[in-house]
Each structure stands twice: as C-alpha cells, then as structure tokens.
Amino acid sequence: MKVSGKTEIDFAEETRQFFSIQLARYLGLRPSQRFSGLPEHDAVLAMIQDAWVELRASGILENLSREGREAVYVTTIICFPTFVADAGLKCIPVDFITGRRLGEQIIAVASRPTLGG
C-alpha cells in the first residue's frame, strides 16, 4: 500500500522477520541448537527486542525497500553473551580486566535446578 508516495511498512511482519533472523543466528551458534532454559530464552528475546526498538527508532528503515530492510536485518549483529548452561562444556576462564586467559576447565552444571538445601 502506498501512503503519500511511500510504501507503508507492515511492522508486525518486519518484527517477525527481524526476530526470525536474529533467533536463527543465535541458536545456530548454540551446541544444542536450542535454548537451555527459560532464563536464557527470556534474556535473548529481550536483547533482540531492545535491538529492534533501537533500529526502528533510528529511522534507517523508513526509506528503504523491503529488500533493503531485509539486508539491514541480516547485517545487524547483536553481541549475545555466552550462556554456560549446557552440562559438560569446556570453558576457558578469562580475566577481562587484564585480558589474560586463566586456564581451561570443564563446567558441569546441573541439568535441573533443585529447590531447597
């Protein structure tokens, strides 16, 4: 649909497309190709939502074609943190202040949290 010479943007569809691209990118990097739990799911979706709100507010999408907007979605990189939630992952601890590697160890995380002591 055209509105005053511009193509009207279906932001519901654009939101789904952006989320789909970003979720596929995130899950594609996960060893299990899925979320390890609800906290990780919620954190990742919140980060994608924040990126989407910032991208829309920037105004960069307003004068782009559908293909141009899709190119922006694909090239938008969200720096997701690494969630250590899979049992038995190799983890390389790093001191972020000095930038030194502290060693390598196996992180074993309980697959299900327990309540109480």
> Which tokens belong to 94?
């790093």
Say if 65 falls within a structural domain. yes
pLDDT of residue 83: 62
First to last CA, the chain: 61
On the question of pLDDT at 58 being above 50, the answer is: yes
- Asked if 61 and 69 touch (Cβ cutoff 8 Å), the reply is yes
On the question of pLDDT at 6 being above 90, the answer is: no
Q: 18: domain range?
A: 2-84
How confident is the model over 90-114, as pLDDT tens digits?
666 777 777 777 765 444 444 444 4
User: Could you give the 3-state DSSP secondary structure of residue 14?
Assistant: helix
pLDDT of residue 7: 55
Question: How many domains are there within the chain?
Answer: 1
Say if 95 falls within a structural domain. no
Say if 111 falls within a structural domain. no
Whole-angstrom distance, CA of residue 49 vs CA of residue 96:
27
pLDDT mean over 14-20: 96
Say if 67 falls within a structural domain. yes
- Asked if 51 and 77 touch (Cβ cutoff 8 Å), the reply is no
H-assigned helices in the chain: 11-29, 38-58, 66-75
- Asked if 47 and 80 touch (Cβ cutoff 8 Å), the reply is yes
Say if 75 falls within a structural domain. yes
